Structure 1
Amino acid sequence: MSDFEEIINTRRSIRQYADKEVSDEDILKILKAGMQAPGSRLGAEPWEFVVIKNKDTLMKLAEIKPRVKTAPVAILLVANIDRAFYKAHWQQDMSAACENMLLEAVNLGLGGLWNGVAPTEETMAKVAELFDLDNETHVPFSIVTIGYPAEGWENKFMDKFDEERIHYEKY
């Protein structure tokens, strides 16, 4: 198995983190991975990121998204709609960035969790208010929590392949 296959096959949703700081260098690598994602059009990628390490802010965010509570760092993915090329497809661009970030976390020996924000209007409004976003042109998409997995939450292979879900030529 190649390193890339191992990363894809062992990535899990990590919901509990060890009490250990994530380096700024690793956070930057995760952000760079997000920015390498494919977008609807080169130069029109809508993603922007808010890195959250302050414990008070993380606790406020955990009131909206409880899985943030044990994370040493959270990254809010914000869609800048003005920069999106296809205004109706920004969530696809943001999803690609989010997955790249989660895969890079595994590559670095970390764990991550995709905490959905969009398209739930109430959650989007609460997150937008907490981070002073206008929620019209700067829309909160998701929160990626990052950290060292707590015991019992390690990234590990789980075979999810199901041949019955594959269809050829028509459904």
Structure 2
Amino acid sequence: MADFEEIIKIRRSIREYEDKEVEDEKIEKILRAGMQAPGSRLGAEPWEFLIIKNKEVLTKIGEIKPRVTNAPVAILLIANIERAFYKTVWQQDMSAAAENMLLEAVNLGLGGLWNGVAPDEERMGKIADIVGLPKDDNLKPFCIITLGYPAEGWENKFMDKFDESRIHYETY
């Protein structure tokens, strides 16, 4: 297991992957990390996850989100609004889960990319149709995380993004 401070520093958006399958054990660890995220209220976490490995499905999604096409695996994060405590801010809970998952991917030697789906209703509807999500106003596709072993030149590496000019104290 890598040092947590190091994981945060080196995590990058990985857009190209080796043609190599991601082990189911690693996918499970990533899902577990997502489910450990803080939610608006204990027991009211809205997340559900759909694992996609089928190349035809990935290609169809790629017509909407091109970076999905060549990933060995993608995970669609779905918000189940019935489980959300605050029905209007479920995106915050889902974002926490997504970031946990991306950090765990780095910890496991993988790369990942957050592909936004929400809040674009048209895009959300198209993705829901492709994956066979039931027609239910309570189930909302949030984002797609692609995962894989980074292709050459796409490794997770440190890039200093610290900018002191963006820090303010007490008042703006």
Question: What TM-score, normalized by structure 1, do the two folds share?
Answer: 0.97
Match in the other structure for 2:88: 88
Give 3-state SS (helix, strand or coil) of 2:82's partner.
Answer: coil
Match in the other structure for 1:70: 70
Matched to 1:169, the amino acid is: E
What is the Cα deviation at residue 135 of structure 1?
Answer: 5.3
Match in the other structure for 2:106: 106
Number of matched pairs: 170
Following TM superposition, where does structure 1 have runs of at least 4 consecutive aligned residues deviating by more than 4 angstroms?
Answer: none
Question: What TM-score, normalized by structure 2, do the two folds share?
Answer: 0.97
1:97 counterpart = 2:113: no
> Which blocks of at least 5 consecutive residues in structure 1 are unaligned?
none
Match in the other structure for 1:145: 146
> Which blocks of at least 5 consecutive residues in structure 2 are unaligned?
none
Match in the other structure for 2:37: 37
Per mean C-alpha deviation after superposition, the further-off stretch among 149-158 and 131-140 is 131-140
Q: Is the 8 A contact 1:124 1:135 kept in 2?
A: no
Q: Is the 8 A contact 2:57 2:131 kept in 1?
A: no
**Deviations 1:29-62 (CA, angstroms, capped at 9, x unpaired):** 0000000000000000000000001111111111
What is the Cα deviation at residue 69 of structure 1?
Answer: 1.4
Q: CA RMSD in A?
A: 1.0
What is the rounded CA distance, in whole Å, between the counterparts of 1:23 and 1:57 in structure 2?
A: 19
Give 3-state SS (helix, strand or coil) of 1:41's partner.
Answer: coil
What is the Cα deviation at residue 120 of structure 1?
Answer: 1.1
Per mean C-alpha deviation after superposition, the further-off stretch among 129-138 and 106-115 is 129-138
Give 3-state SS (helix, strand or coil) of 1:51's partner.
Answer: strand
Identity of aligned residues (%): 75
What is the rounded CA distance, in whole Å, between the counterparts of 2:40 and 2:62 in structure 1?
A: 32
Q: Is the 8 A contact 1:79 1:139 kept in 2?
A: yes
Matched to 1:93, the amino acid is: D
User: In 2 relative to 1, CA 43–149 (structure 1 residues): closer, same or farther, beyond 3 Å?
Assistant: same
